[in-house]
Amino acid sequence: MQYWMINVKHEGVKTEIKDISTNCIMMGHDEKKCPQFYYGVQSGDCLIGVYNSHPNCICHCMGIADKLDSNLGEWSLKRIIVNPNKLKEIQQSIRDNSDDLPGKKNKNPWGSQKSIIRINPSETPTLIETIKKVFSEENMKIEEFKSVLEKKKNIVLQGAPGVGKTYITAELALRIIGDETLYSSHEDIMKEYQKYVESGQIVFTTFHQSMDYEDFVEGLKPEIVKDGADKPVGIKYSVKPGIFKEICNDAAGKDNKEKNYVLIIDEINRGNISKIFGELITLVEADKRAEGVHPIQATLPYSQDVFSVPSNLYIIGTMNTTDRSTGTVDYALRRRFSFVPVKSTYTFDGEKITGCDELNSYYSDNPNGPSADATKLFIQVYDLLSNKDYKADMNIDDLMVGHSYFMAPTVEELKLKLEYEIKPLIREYAKDGIISISEKDLKEELDKWRI
């Protein structure tokens, strides 16, 4: 990847810079006058749009070059970043490294005919590292999920065990809250996440078969009645709000309407949705929220309160695709939630997989870990689960054991994960009929998995 700074002079240029070539035309340049612009940039390069004629200026937008064509007006961008907070990170890094950028001794480094200059990564390693974080696969995935959630208000992250669904919810919740920091570790994410949990702005719960409307919305709950001597003398029942009603009331509070609230529901498909949400399943739709285009209210059966779901509440669910297929999920839930797949990112040599991006990233940060053994094991598991002879009822992405199962700081820990986590899970797949393989063949396959 190469890194380029585009001189965006004109206020009329759209924020997305969907067509950088058009910008070049507006500046009076053509292909002959800007050969570097047309022949230096390649698909996949990073472009930073900036105002002013000096690199130490305001970041206007960013993007990765997608489709290139020598004809004017045929350049498009993918992975466009226009988030102001993200741009601030790049802008600050540009300012911090301005002395190392092109043209540091030249008041106008662009020259009379240039609309683009190349950044030398070796001269500005800190800036390039910041850009890489912004455009990392993990960050772009979170940005995409956030975009879906902002529009739909409700999202379900679905995937096989170990792909990081619950892991992702913490950072996604922070982004929705308004924290756009590019944290260097998940530990830092969780420290910040916990602050919002303690303040009640983020609430985490797990659905299960015993959960019902009384736990989630409101219901009659028993209280022990005591006498003057603090001795129990009886029991009375009173209406108590559930998890959902409490966070809705907090989000709708007069002083909280400018804040975003997040409800995280882990294992959302393990609960009986009709039993848990009741009539309120209709009210969670974006357009039927309190500030939606078609707001709806409901009178709650126990308290008789008139209730609506505030528009500043966002719901993030997670769903294990091997636990129950998406086809059995309540259609009312599917209608009101966006279902987003989460999976390990495979690397290919053109025909077969050679590894996993998440494992490569993990072991680059843990160079003493068993990287080769983990990658070999990952490929073996993939090959078994994708074997058509075993007639898997699910797509490989719904079935493939997630990368977290293969992350281990030592060989000993990876061996323990293999024997007591990975192999038992595969045996359970066979037992449940998810993969059709004889006990003998399965034993032979599992015996090949050695570290």
Domain boundaries, the chain: 3-135, 138-341, 346-447
Residues 276/212, Cβ–Cβ less than 8 Å: yes
- C-beta neighbour count of 284 within 10 angstroms: 21
Q: What is the pLDDT of residue 12?
A: 39
Global pTM reads 0.78
Residues 247-280 pLDDT 10s: 999 999 988 989 999 999 999 988 888 899 999 9
Using CB atoms within 10 Å of the CB of residue 292, give its burial: 0 to 12 exposed, 13 to 18 middle, 19+ buried.
Answer: middle
pLDDT above 60 (res 172): yes
CATH architecture for the domain at 138-341: 3-Layer(aba) Sandwich (3.40)
Residues 6/23, Cβ–Cβ less than 8 Å: yes
CA distance 173 to 177: 6
Residues 80-113 pLDDT 10s: 444 545 556 666 666 666 666 555 444 455 544 4
DSSP string, 132-146: HHHTSHHHHHHHHHH
